[in-house]
Amino acid sequence: MLAGKRFLVTGGAGFIGSHIVEYLLNNGAEFVRVLDNLATGLQSNVDLFSRQARYEFMQGDIRNVADCARACEGITHVTHQAALGSVPRSVNDPVASNEVNVSGFVNMLTAAKDAGVKTFVYASSSSVYGDEPNLPKVEYRTGNLLSPYAVTKMTNELYAGVFGRLYGIRVAGLRYFNVFGPRQDPNGPYAAVIPLFVTGILNRTPVYINGDGAQTRDFTYVENAVQANVRALLAENEDAFGQAYNVATGNNFTVNFLYQSIADILGSDHKATYREPRAGDIRDSLADISKANKLLGYEPTKQFLDGLKVTVEYFRSLHKAG
């Protein structure tokens, strides 16, 4: 299935990107190159693959046109994961988020087009639904955007549509819903909620829940995000391109339930501390995944609690080793 195909994974030192790289190398890809500036990605993630002859790491920046062009040389398929993530980060520094997520995205699309890349798959986000109140979220119905980050991801979708129509490049976007799993970075001011909860409980340090904790999310184990990328990259159906897809499980849970589930897995009575809601956050999230199922054959292979157990055990093992 992957034989003879040469992949570029931008942001491959990041959490989702490194899992995509691992899958591609383990399943017969002819060649996998990672482009990452290590601003938010981790050297330890790419070190996992450094001994593989079919793998190459290129340190570079998607804001640099020459780096993008060089990264696309000899590549047949691109999965673009490089971005400055985090709603709060974008609220605090919209200029940086725009430079990476919009200008960098256009640089990569252009480089892929010029190199004759067959398929370009990119990470969008559930944040594009904004204040649209209806659940579940369906791709054609969005609301007012609530953060600069959401604007950057919606802009990606608009550019992707134009490039597909204008230049004929096969492009597909994946609207991730709260992806989690091993290798998600628990450190820094913009760390994701699950690694923060797990490490806080293990260390018995303060763990904060924003708002009342009754907000819901369609937590999506990383294995499902990898599957969606691979299915989109290899899609033969021309109708699958020029589209954006929800990537989720189609189930949602409250943040309170998430916290209690982690505490239960760890056998801990550590209590969370509640604080003010976070600016730019949406209240409830639940995906309709029927479009991805129909056009890509996407079907979640690991549900929330199963993925959570794997993830918690991963962070517990790191804690013991540390």
Amino acid at 76: T
Please classify residue 305 by burial: count the beta carbons closer than 10 Å to its beta carbon, then call 0-12 exposed, 13-18 middle and 19+ buried: middle
Q: Respond yes or no: is residue 149 known to be catalytic.
A: yes
Q: Where are the alpha helices (DSSP H) in the chain?
A: 15-26, 43-47, 65-71, 87-92, 94-98, 104-115, 148-167, 193-203, 222-233, 255-266, 290-296, 304-321
Q: Which of 149, 176, 221, 259 is catalytic?
A: 149
- Look up the CATH number of domain 6-180+220-249+288-301: 3.40.50.720
Angle made by CA atoms 210, 214, 219, in degrees to the nearest 5: 85
Amino acid at 176: Y
Q: How far apart are CA 299 and CA 297, in angstroms?
A: 6
pLDDT of residue 190: 66
Closest CA to 261 of 212, 227, 191, 213: 213
pLDDT tens-digit series, residues 267-284: 999 999 999 988 777 788
Show the low-confidence residues of the chain (pLDDT under 70): 190
Angle made by CA atoms 43, 48, 54, in degrees to the nearest 5: 110
Sign of CA dihedral 112, 7, 118, 234: negative
pLDDT tens-digit series, residues 101-120: 999 999 999 999 999 999 99
pLDDT of residue 321: 83
pTM value is 0.96
Q: How far apart are CA 177 and CA 4, in angstroms?
A: 31
Closest CA to 81 of 10, 147, 142, 32: 10
